[in-house]
Structure 1
Amino acid sequence: MPTTTSSVAWDDFRLIKAIAEARSLPAAAELIGLNHSTVFRRLGQIEESLGTRLFERHRSGYVPTPAGEEMAVLAERLETDIAGFTRRLAGREILPAGELRVTTNDTLLVELLTPLFATFMRQCPEIKLDVLLGNQALNLSKRDADVAIRATDNPPENLIGRRAAQIGWALYGRSVDFPDSTPQAEESLRDRPWISLGDQFGAFKVVQHVQKIVPAERVVYKINTVLGLTEAVEAGIGIGYLPCFIADKRPALHRLGPPQAGYAADLWLLTHPDLRHSPRVRLFLDFMAQELAKLRPLMEGSPAGREDTEAPSPAEA
């Protein structure tokens, strides 16, 4: 009788299929490239392991029992499936599937990434996105996330990726407060109420700049979210530096000067080195890099990007 630990390997299925087709051990041995004695011995071992006879020995040859016939049919099906898999692999027809965990912050998600994620999922319906919001660095080594999309000048050294674009920052105020479209000199605006990201963002060049050129008493409002910063400028609390890809899409906001190159932040697509060849990760990174490249004028605050917002709009890894 077979034991609960009995197992049959693929080579065993091949051997049974060959005997069923050839009806003799010498012919079966020739089909699969073994000698006659090896086929005889392996057949006995397989029947002993399964606890049943797979062939009846007749003068006309080896005739499969019902169990042997079933095993031969299954072997044929497995062989067909394996051949089909090999063809699809050679033709790059295998589609990545499964869950992909992506971490980013609320600003990028709301103002930039959600439409791109939607397009990606329409094109790759077998991939499900699990989006994790937060500014803290998740541990990609422990699979807290598979991909991180971050605006940073110093991506973690243990991650690899590509710089997708630069995020331009410029000074903005309410359009109603600045009906004249003429750019404003920063020096002439220092006595106005100002808004800034909080001191916890002191590593940001634009925050350092505001701290340097604006009297502390004129900074009347600080907040720890870029979305909140944008809302505050739009509400008329004060003027402040904002990412161009957010502010240029809001008619209620008026750009007071050109983007400041020194305050731009790099937008990175990052993953762990062990995940770089994962089909899901690779496909997602390539897609996002391609789509974000199309949005570079908007993100950088170039004139072409501003024109696009006025019309209806639908490190190397």
Structure 2
Amino acid sequence: MTSRSVCEKVTMTRENPNQTVVSHFFLEGLVYTAKHPSLFFLLFLLIYSVTVAGNLLILLTVGSDSHLSSPMYHFLGHLSFLDACLSTVTVPKVMAGLLTLDGKVISFEGCAVQLYCFHFLASTECFLYTVMAYDRYLAICQPLYYPVAMNRRMCAEMAGITWAIGATHAAIHTSLTFRLLYCGPCHIAYFFCDIPPVLKLACTDTTINELVMLANIGIVAAGCLILIVTSYAFITAAVLRIRTAQGRQRAFSTCTAHLTVVLLYYVPPVCIYLQPRSSEAGAGAPAVFYTIVTPMLNPFIYTLRNKEVKHALQRLLCSSFRESTAGSPSP
């Protein structure tokens, strides 16, 4: 059975007063996975397992270790939770599509939910990276003011604001995208429901949607990236003024971890959303980095580049091992 016949079979059209509209979409997936679906299924299963386990382990470590009570680790906990959820929104559906053609089918409502959840989590993470850069700027450039500016209440408020803005941002784009008429075709040339490939299937003019997407995603994301780069320019200048080599190394180890994941996360989506009409099946490759690869790499980057997180993780694992050993019956 071909993908077209599957799409025609499940896309039972519902009648509109003026026109028929599709009730299901067919996700084309990643074009280079078609030849070896079983191999890529195992690869994505491994990536997804590592992503969820790694981020939940970081979240558990940050939440249980009293040594990691600073604002930076508070935000890191939010980031780990977002990464685990972001991967869950996309990867399981990709794996289902690798098993059967029916696994690539997604309902109209399911597509809207996936698009909302993806942009909710991704935009929240985008703003969270900016907040984390501001946190590092205050900690290194204004250390005396830092305890006052980044107290526990302020951290909670800033984290809450990022989640609220992310939810609003996603609601705007989801409503604008799915208020349009979709009367066929139903093939989404992508591996998940995202705005550019979905808009290409609309039967009406999408100029307003593309302008809003350019302003609200491209410019906002680019603006956040500029703020982050500016913050790190001041941070770099401040670190270079530190007299001791140990102090400079500690500051750089914390900042380079954050800057690394920022570059991995920001560059691909800015390129994608600034060129909405260029989204084809093969264009999904850049999106793989910030939707699948980056969430997997974050726990490793923050663990390997941050001694405090590494030591806290070792304490957690040793404590768990001692508890399991003490609870096991003696021979």
Q: TM-score if structure 1 supplies the norm length? A: 0.25
Q: Which has the higher helix share?
A: 2
Q: Which has the higher contact order (CA 8 A, sep 6+)?
A: 2
Q: TM-score if structure 2 supplies the norm length? A: 0.24
